[in-house]
A and B are shown apart, each in its own frame.
Chain A
Amino acid sequence: MFKKFSPSSDVSGQTSLKSSVQRSIRSGLLSQWKIDPETLEQIWPKKEPLTLVKCRDHISIYTLHGEALFFQHFDEPFFPTLRLLHKYPFLLPMVRIDRGAIRFLLAGAHMMCPGMTSKGGYLPPADAALPAGTPVAIHAEGKEHAVGIGITKLGTEEMRTVNKGVGVETVTYIGDDFWAVQTL
């Protein structure tokens, strides 16, 4: 989604949000992320107004004092930005890819099932299986922090059985154009 992104041409406008909209976003975040209200309060204090940055292709980025906090495509689920995810790694469920896949991920490729089912990879166990279309944090073998954020294209159980093709679609990763944008 963010492999190519340049603020000068892709951003179409910035507006501050109505408080009612902010309230609905806040409740949306609380239901979608594994987060308690106090932590959310710390990330985004109630008194601080959120700014909506509209971009091409129905992408909305929400910023606080110019710093991007999370984004959304159309009205799909919210994704935290990678920097936010690094600070609060528990926001999203995690999958892990093996070492061989890291460099492909950092070149912007989608993540194939074998990279997650192999020995270095990790998928949530069967009792915590994720359905398709869930935002996930992509971690890497032998690394502490997330390397990217993606959205599952198959359910995690399905990935195990099919073990072929795209399992997680990469949304943003370390070193893409969105990563390079520190403030909007």
Chain B
Amino acid sequence: MADAESSQAGQSVQPVQLLYCGVCTFPVEYCEFGSHLTKCKEWLHETHPDLYDKYYSDEALQAKLGTLSLEAQEKLEKDTAKKEAKAEAKAEAAQKKKMASQVTIKRIERNKRKFVTAVHGLEAFDVDLKKAAKFFAQKFATGASVTKNPQGNDEIVVQGDVSGDIVDMIEEGVGLLKGVPKDNIVEVEEKKKKGGDGAA
């Protein structure tokens, strides 16, 4: 078996191994066109010092100028710096928004003593909703699903009143729920309105 494989590998062309940047996912030589150049440089310097010298030493920078005129190069550098600042601001804003977004845990009365629990807003913290629903279902031994609520947002609906347990789980940061800050949890209770509203 091993023999057959090695003989086959002898005929075919081996793939080129290429290092992708851990920060911007570009091949490292293209980092300079990305929007995190400073961070990329740091990353490369730490993880692959030899490659860092290849791409960012003085000679390499000189050679890179190539056919491009000096002004054009300057403009390019300025643009890159601007782009970087922009990307940073954007990332910061996204982070802020993430920190401000809330996870709502809603206890909905279904039928006097029966409840369902709706968890909304987990996706802002990079939680895979489908997996989380499966996880809840397994944990509480009840049904749990991802459904669209009337506003068109996805939420997890768990059968039974498990609001307290879910809060505890998020606070402890069990498995999938890691990274959800506990200060952002809001517990809400929703009673079924009287009349025909429940059927709608």
Contact = CB atoms under 8 A, between A and B. Distances in A.
B23 to A, nearest CB: 12
Contacts of A144: 29
Interface string A31-68: 00000101101100000000000000000000000000
Contacts of A142: 63-64, 66
Interface residues of A, number: 29
B30 interface: yes
B33 A42 contact: no
A69 B72 CA distance: 37
A103 B16 CA distance: 25
A contacts with B: majority SS: loop
A110 interface: no
A179 B29 CA distance: 16
Interface residues of B, number: 25
A143 B67 contact: no
B64 A86 contact: no
Contacts of B17: 87
Contacts of A77: none
B67 A41 contact: no
A175 B24 CA distance: 8
Contact of B18 (A119, A120, A141, A145): A145
A107 to B, nearest CB: 10
Contacts of B67: 98-99, 118-120, 141
A38 B8 contact: yes
B56 to A, nearest CB: 14
A98 B34 CA distance: 17
A87 B13 CA distance: 10
A28 interface: no
A180 interface: yes
Nearest to A82: B27
Nearest to A102: B33
A36 B12 contact: yes
Given A42-B9, A90-B13, A174 B30 contact: yes
Contact of B25 (A42, A98, A180): A180
27 contacts: A39-B12, A39-B13, A41-B8, A41-B12, A42-B12, A86-B18, A86-B27, A87-B15, A87-B16, A87-B17, A88-B13, A90-B13, A98-B68, A99-B66, A120-B66, A120-B67, A120-B68, A141-B66, A142-B66, A143-B29, A145-B18, A145-B30, A147-B30, A174-B26, A175-B25, A175-B26, A180-B25
Given A38-B11, A41-B12, A87-B17, 12 more contacts: A36-B11, A39-B12, A42-B9, A87-B16, A87-B18, A89-B16, A100-B68, A103-B33, A106-B33, A141-B67, A143-B29, A143-B30
Interface of B: 8-9, 11-13, 15-18, 24-27, 29-30, 33-34, 63-64, 66-68, 72, 76, 79
